[in-house]
Amino acid sequence: MTATLPGPVGATSGAGAVPTSPALDSPRSPYVRNKPTRSNYEMYAWLFMRLSGVLLVVLVLGHLLVNLVMGDGINQIDFAFVAGKWASPFWQVWDLAMLWLAMLHGTNGVRTIINDYAERTATRLWLKLGLYTAFTVTVVLGTLVIFTFDPCPVGASADLLPEFCGTTSAATPLG
């Protein structure tokens, strides 16, 4: 009785069997991780993508409705409009949530693409390092802009400022 071994077709373990080496992946086979994982990180990342996507749709549609549909549309968007919006903590939190969710959602999506298509470990490392660096810089700078934005800068032209600033801060025009 002969048993069939994995390997070339017809290889058997009988007296006339040809010894076979361990099975090797073909050179063009996709990268497969061998380490077993016990965490549910990828499941939570998948769930986050679905939930953040739904929330982003609401945030972006609300943003577009207020900025482009209500009022004068695109003609109303200027420094005074943004200053007036960001004078309210509600709009600061709204825009901050939109920034953070969009960046986390996009970074998680690109991380998944890097994991799927970058074959070498070193390539994956450098691509993810660049991705996480871009994420960090964008989120930190965006958060700083939202919370340190001065709606009434000293020396700004009065016609560019929102109405609640008055004319006292515009005594010296920029020039």
Distance CA 45, CA 36 (A): 18
Distance CA 102, CA 98 (A): 6
pTM of the model: 0.67
Does 55 fall in a domain? Answer: yes
Average pLDDT of 131-157? 90
Does 10 fall in a domain? Answer: no
Domains in the chain, number: 1
Distance CA 117, CA 85 (A): 42
What is the domain extent for residue 139? 41-152
pLDDT digits (tens, 9 = 90+) for 11-24: 555 566 566 666 76
Does 120 fall in a domain? Answer: yes
Does 18 fall in a domain? Answer: no
pLDDT digits (tens, 9 = 90+) for 84-126: 888 889 999 999 999 999 999 999 999 999 999 988 999 999 9
CATH code of the domain containing 132: 1.20.1300.10
Position 152 scores a pLDDT of 77
pLDDT at position 7 over 70:
no
Report phi then psi at 35, rounded to 5: -80, 130
Does 171 fall in a domain? Answer: no
Position 170 scores a pLDDT of 43
Question: Which residues are registered as beta bridge partners of 4?
Answer: 12
Structure-derived torsion over alpha carbons of residues 32, 36, 41, 42, reported in degrees to the nearest 10: 30
Does 109 fall in a domain? Answer: yes
Does 79 fall in a domain? Answer: yes
Position 10 scores a pLDDT of 52
pLDDT at position 173 over 70:
no
Position 86 scores a pLDDT of 86
